[in-house]
Structure 1
Amino acid sequence: MLTEAPKYSEEEFDLSVRAAWLHYGAGLTQGEVAKRLGVPSLKAHRLIARAHRDGLIHFTIDGDISDCLRLEEKLRQRFGVKFCEVCPDLDDEPLPLLTLSIAGSRFLRRSLETGEDQIIGFGHGRTLSTSVARLPNMSIGKRKLVSLLGGLTRRNSATPYDVIHRLAARTGAETYVLPLPFYANSVEDRAVFLAQRGVREVVELGIQASLRIVGIGTMEYDASSVATGMIEREEFDAARAAGGMGEVLGHIFGIDGRVIENGLSARTLSMPVAEIGRHKTIALAGGRSKIDAIRAVLASGLLYGIIMDERTARTLTA
């Protein structure tokens, strides 16, 4: 049974249970626990000690989080990702926005605080935007935050789920924006856009980013790229007909992970698809409507890691 609720935050409790499971259950050293959780070694030691002091550790470790850790290991083995975080379900919506935004904000905060990555790239979308909204005001020094794709739409002056401007407001960091649409009108227009002085430098900065945090888009008609007018319905239908299941940074993937080469993907204003896997690219995604999209993108082998809700993880590992 669980002991009396510990007198610290839900986030600290969650980290303590994770640290204890990894140390006592998985047999990792405190240094390895610190690396897995992305915290200093001293904090890992304190988390493990706190779990022990609060009676969480007996013959087993109390807390549902151990199930999440087992799912993480299954996902790593099945899809070959090096980092995986599965979060306990907090809501029962087609898009588990509460679960994902809490997990996403925690990951963002750790990444911004550690200083390990001097350049961090960001996609956009509702889940990432809501995660940023949960961040406290922070000071992160001289690191650079860069948008990985254009966000101007045909129906709005900018995507309603903008991320990079919200990050600038939260962190005061040096931020770089691509003042471009999501897709160019033609392959020729794409070449012209990307050759512009200023644009070329921002794209190159995104390619250099040692950490990228992105969303995964679906090929359903409620996808944000259709809803916000980034692309027309006929273009979307053509991509679906070609086998498209999921999208990352404007690039479309089939269920087997292959890149869908068509007119739409050839016009995306972001880094080339081959560059996605060259540095740590971590997706934040989940929900019933995104199962096939997530499976397709994971099958591509381009992701370094993924953060998702428990229900999605169970479906993907069933």
Structure 2
Amino acid sequence: MAARAAWLHFVGGLTQSEVAKRLSVPNTRAHRYIARAQSEGLVRVFVDIESADCVDLETRLMAAYGLSLCRVAMDALEPGPLPLRALSAVGADYLMQVVASGAHRVIGIGHGRTIAASVDAMGRTPGERIRFVSMLGGLTRSYAANPYDVIHNLARKTSAEAYLMPAPLFANSAEDKRVMMAQSGLAATMELIGEASLVIAGIGNTESADGGASAAALDQPDAIDELNRRGAAAEILGQFLTADGAALETSYDERVMAPALESLRGREVVAIAGGESKLAAIRAGLRSGLLSGLIVDEATARRLVEEL
């Protein structure tokens, strides 16, 4: 019924009142049907346009940082500081193309609001031969972009197999991590992570507790301040980078339930990130040499290029 209501509204050009009359349901139910069709990814909107400015930004970022892929999302009117609408539209398009191509049999998925929003914006794209795997454990505190939900949504929209890491983001101690990693379920997940030829990652900042999922999961009240004093500028998979892209050794390294960042080298690693607050973090991620691809909003891309 949701699909039929959406078809009548978007393709047939009927108003919601006319859809309700056609389906013999109240207006409010017709509205809910159409909204559900959109949230379930049954409705896709395509804008056939290519911005020369965005293409120029992509080209310059690829040349400067040795990227094999860069997509710059045109600016859109956003209700908050994070350009989720623009990033999720381009991120969803990229994810659907990757799934449809079948070029990667195992795809690792990081965390973050931009990745979650990109998956939410995806349409249904068959990918039965693909396996998705969470690159890190779940969060120890409430967070909107729980990686478990992202993996669940990917499985639902692609009919692909999806695997999560049933563990916290940070173990209580290094010994606890060793014990958990020895469990058969986690060991199998880590083996699958090792097979991932493509990793979709988020980039967190360390400016505040709202800077990323990992920052929200730090268990010491002054942890972010201490990381900043030591020069942390970015977070990827629960591990930290300095402003020049070097790995910053922290006490969390031996507790994080995720593969070491160095293990990502040689694979395709595409980050989806943007926004003024993430500028320094994205720059650090690019300087690390870990990224082969970047999906970013136009305003942030312009700032990155201006600073070259």
2:151 corresponds in structure 1 to: 164
- 1:272 CA displacement: 1.2
The answer to whether residue 214 in structure 2 is matched with residue 179 in structure 1 is: no
Do the aligned partners of 1:151 and 1:158 also contact (CA within 8 Å) in 2?
A: no
Q: CA deviation at 1:232?
A: 3.1
Paired positions, count? 261
Number of the residue aligned with 1:314: 302
Question: Which of residues 212, 222, 228 in structure 2 aligns to 1:234?
Answer: 222
Report the 3-state secondary structure (helix = DSSP H, G, I; strand = E; otherwise coil) of the residue aligned with 1:218: coil
Q: What is the aligned partner in structure 1 of residue 175 from structure 2?
A: 188
Would the alpha carbon gap of residues 205 and 160 (structure 1) be closer, same or farther in structure 2, given more than 3 Å must change?
A: closer
Could you tell me whether the CA contact under 8 Å between 1:276 and 1:302 is conserved in 2? yes
Counterpart mapping for 1:262-281 below 5 A: 262-281=250-269
Query: What is the CA distance between 1:136 and its match in structure 2?
Result: 1.8
> How many angstroms does 1:231 deviate by?
3.5
Deviations 1:45-76 (A, max 9, x none): xxxxxxxxxxxxxxxxxxxx111111111111
Q: Deviations over 1:212-268 (max 9, x none)?
A: 111101102112436754533322222222111101111100000110001023321
Q: Is the 8 A contact 1:87 1:310 kept in 2?
A: yes
Structure 1 residue 91 displacement after superposition: 2.7
Q: Does the residue aligned with 1:90 lie in a helix, a strand or coil?
A: coil
Structure 2 Cα separation of the partners of residues 285 and 107 of structure 1: 13
Q: Do the aligned partners of residues 110 and 277 (structure 1) sit closer, same or farther apart at CA in structure 2, a change above 3 Å counting? A: same
Alpha-carbon distance in 2 for matches of 1:214, 1:254: 17
Secondary structure in 1 matching 2:222 = helix
Which residue number in structure 1 is paired with residue 65 of structure 2?
79
Other structure's SS at 2:226 match: helix
Instruction: Give the unaligned 5+ runs of structure 2.
Output: 1-43
In the alignment, what sits opposite 1:250?
238
**Aligned residue among 121, 127, 135 for 2:122:** 135
TM-score, with normalisation over the residues of structure 1? 0.77
SS of 1:198 mapped into structure 2: helix
| Equivalent residue number for residue 114 of structure 1 | 101
CA distance in 2, matches of 1:224, 1:79: 23
Q: 1:105 to 1:90 in 2, by over 3 A?
A: same
Pairing 1:202–2:189 present: yes
Is the 8 Å Cα contact of residues 67 and 291 (structure 2) preserved in structure 1? Answer: yes
TM-score (norm 2): 0.79
Aligned counterparts of 2:45 and 2:151: Cα–Cα separation in 1: 27
Q: Using the TM superposition, name which of 193-202 and 161-170 deviates more.
A: 161-170
Q: CA RMSD in A?
A: 2.1
Q: Distance in 2 between matches of 1:278 and 1:131?
A: 25
Counterpart Cα distance in 1 of 2:214 and 2:151: 21
